[in-house]
A = this chain, B = another copy of it.
Amino acid sequence: MDKKITVIKGDGIGPEIVTEAIKVLDAVAAKFGHSFEYTDILMGGCSIDACGVPLTDEAVATAKAADAVLLGAIGGNTSTSPWYKLAPNLRPEAGLLKIRKELGLFANLRPANLYDELKFACPLRSDIIEGGFDMMIMRELTGGLYFGERKTEEVDGVETAVDTLSYNENEIRRIAIKGFDIAMKRRKKVTSVDKANVLDSSRLWRKIVNEVAKDYPEVELEHMLVDNCAMQLVRDPKQFDVILTENMFGDILSDEAAMVSGSLGMLASASLNDTKFGLYEPSHGSAPDIAGQDKANPLATILSASMMLRYSFDMDKEADAIDNAVKQVLAEGYRTGDIMSEGMKQVGCKEMGSLVAERV
């Protein structure tokens, strides 16, 4: 198959980790007889520097014309970089929010699982994580507080800021369907997280999720309040299969779950619209402090490329080949600095990419 991939290297370690993911994708193409065509666009700080805005409309158009987007990471040091002196809508993150909205990427999938070899890095007690855990956070990504109306104004001489949390039944239904669909391919359990004891948007959320659940009689559905979920992720992460939640709760809980897994450098993510199109990126940030030093861990980006093959290109075999290559490299004892432990072999970003590519 021929596929067009728009590539956003971004800032910080972004270029290094994307380069390694492309190395692995090229190995897949060679082995399975595909052809991937890559087109770079700018987003984030590098786009601010080159074009004055974090994402141009031309860049969006290029991304739209592709079959999928592969993203490294964007942004810089928030206290020292001049990018953070700009108005909020001109900062690096604004590019990310714009591309999510413009491409209609409403479904954000963030797996959080424990790698056997990296158990030592998990911050939880060993008896809690015995047997491992493996959850998928399905976060709504184009609604809620992120994209509601907002304003800051003086009300009777008092400065007042307002953000709006709005969801309609269609927005909830389409993400719920994605959540149940993915649960059907996993352990068939959905935990829908909301704050229905306080918010109207959560009560509508719960109602629509209950409706969608009727079409998936095999899937067990439970509702959990967001404050309780923040506790349960620490108390017993094993209990979760798919966590389905709205944008802001998903932002908080997916990061908590990532930390609970202990290996941020390993966590991939996918952001999908209602076609096969998606944007794939590691869950971690741009780590400006180690940029350009060949120290970054490219595995989360490589695993994001694997998600791209699986979700956007229907290339399950190819995706499995990447996932297995990553497991093999870990089993052989290769580690980047962030996941290094005694007795293992420390390698740089480039070598890690080559090791995975060779094993594909």
Contacts and interface: CB of A to CB of B under 8 A. Distances in A.
A134 interface: no
A65 interface: no
Interface in A185-199: 195, 197-199
B259 A231 contact: yes
Interface in A148-190: 148, 150-152, 155, 158-170
Closest 3 CB pairs of A and B: A231-B259, A161-B204, A230-B256
Given A125-B125, A159-B204, A203-B161, A197 B88 contact: yes
Contact of A227 (B123, B148, B197, B252): B252
26 contacts: A123-B128, A145-B165, A145-B195, A145-B199, A146-B198, A148-B162, A150-B200, A152-B200, A155-B168, A160-B168, A161-B167, A161-B168, A161-B199, A161-B204, A162-B165, A162-B201, A163-B201, A226-B252, A227-B252, A230-B230, A230-B252, A230-B259, A231-B256, A231-B258, A234-B260, A252-B252
A227 B128 CA distance: 23
* Residue among A91, A122, A232, A255 with most chain B CB within 10 A: A255
Nearest to A127: B123
Contacts of A163: 164-166, 199-201
A227 B251 contact: yes
A40 interface: no
Given A150-B199, A164-B164, A165-B165, 19 more contacts: A93-B197, A93-B198, A123-B235, A146-B198, A150-B200, A155-B168, A158-B168, A159-B204, A160-B166, A161-B168, A161-B199, A161-B200, A161-B203, A161-B205, A163-B164, A231-B255, A232-B259, A234-B259, A249-B252
Nearest to A94: B197
Of listed A161, A199, A256, residue having the most chain B CB within 10 A: A161
A35 interface: no
Contacts of A99: none
Residue from the set A145, A163, A204, A205 with the largest chain B CB neighbour count within 10 Å: A163
A249 B271 CA distance: 24
A228 interface: yes
B164 A159 contact: no
Contacts of A260: 234
A158 B170 contact: yes
Contacts of A145: 165, 195, 198-199
A329 interface: no
A71 interface: no
Contacts of A198: 93, 97, 145-146
Nearest to A169: B159
A77 B201 CA distance: 23
A254 B252 CA distance: 13
